[in-house]
């Protein structure tokens, strides 16, 4: 058994940087026909189709949905949330609210789309070594946080991507409506 995306169409929203870019890169390497979205007019990412989409613009979003509408009666949807959709701390109210909401969307979508053979899951990363993490936290804060993670380090984007690859692959034929937390044990402490 191996993960193979040959002859599969994959859409990665937010695939221009960080975890999304890693997922798109890994899907591409496994043979997928990959489309990514972002807000920039153009992006430097060879081998993928790029669609500029601003999800804050209703007209732009509606055009995007019409263009990607898939009537295959089959598919996998993997929402990317965060540990802050399972736990929270002070000054995270808005962010946690959006991530808890994404969890609700996953549950409802899994129930509604099962009849069409579409599996819907959430992958919730913990602290992950992306450019944004480095920019927001800085090295001192990152080191402090790493000491509070049972694994003693933050995740690499590849580690989050591997989880997404599994739930989006043919190896997953029955997991739906789940929230898979990839955090090195942080939520458990």
According to the model, what pLDDT value does residue 136 have? 95
Residues 55 and 117 in one domain: no
Query: Domain span at residue 97?
Result: 73-189
Report CA-CA distances (Å) from 169 to 21, 56, 78, 100, 161.
18, 30, 11, 25, 12
Residues 155 and 83 in one domain: yes
| Whether pLDDT at 69 is above 90 | no
| Whether pLDDT at 121 is above 90 | yes
Name which of 33, 35, 116, 16 is nearest 76 in CA terms. Answer: 116
Residues 26 and 93 in one domain: no
**Catalytic positions, written as ranges:** 95
Q: How far apart are CA 103 and CA 88, in angstroms?
A: 14
* pTM, 2 dp: 0.94
Residue at a domain's end among 29, 51, 69: 69
According to the model, what pLDDT value does residue 184 have? 98
Write the pLDDT tens digit of every residue in 57-66. Answer: 999 999 999 9
Per-residue pLDDT band at 68 (split at 50, 70, 90):
confident
Report the SS3 class of residue 159.
helix
Residues 181 and 110 in one domain: yes
Average pLDDT, integer, range 125-147 = 97
């Amino acid at each position: 058994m191996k993960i193979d995306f040959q002859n599969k169409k994959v859409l990665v929203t937010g695939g221009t940087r960080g975890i999304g870019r890693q997922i798109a890169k890994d899907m591409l390497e496994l043979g997928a026909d990959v489309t990514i979205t972002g807000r920039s007019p153009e992006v430097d990412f060879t081998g993928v189709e790029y669609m500029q989409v601003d999800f804050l613009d209703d007209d732009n979003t509606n055009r995007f949905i019409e263009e990607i509408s898939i009537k295959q009666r089959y598919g996998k949807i993997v929402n990317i949330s965060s540990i802050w959709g399972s736990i929270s701390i002070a000054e995270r109210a808005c962010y946690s609210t959006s991530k808890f909401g994404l969890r609700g969307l996953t549950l409802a979508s899994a129930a509604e789309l099962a009849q069409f053979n579409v599996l819907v899951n959430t992958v919730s990363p913990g602290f992950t070594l992306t450019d944004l993490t480095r920019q927001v936290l800085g090295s001192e804060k990152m080191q402090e946080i790493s000491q509070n993670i049972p694994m003693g380090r933050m995740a690499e984007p590849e580690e989050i991507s591997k989880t997404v690859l599994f739930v989006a692959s043919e190896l997953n034929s029955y997991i739906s409506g789940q929230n898979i937390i990839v955090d090195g044990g942080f939520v458990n402490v």
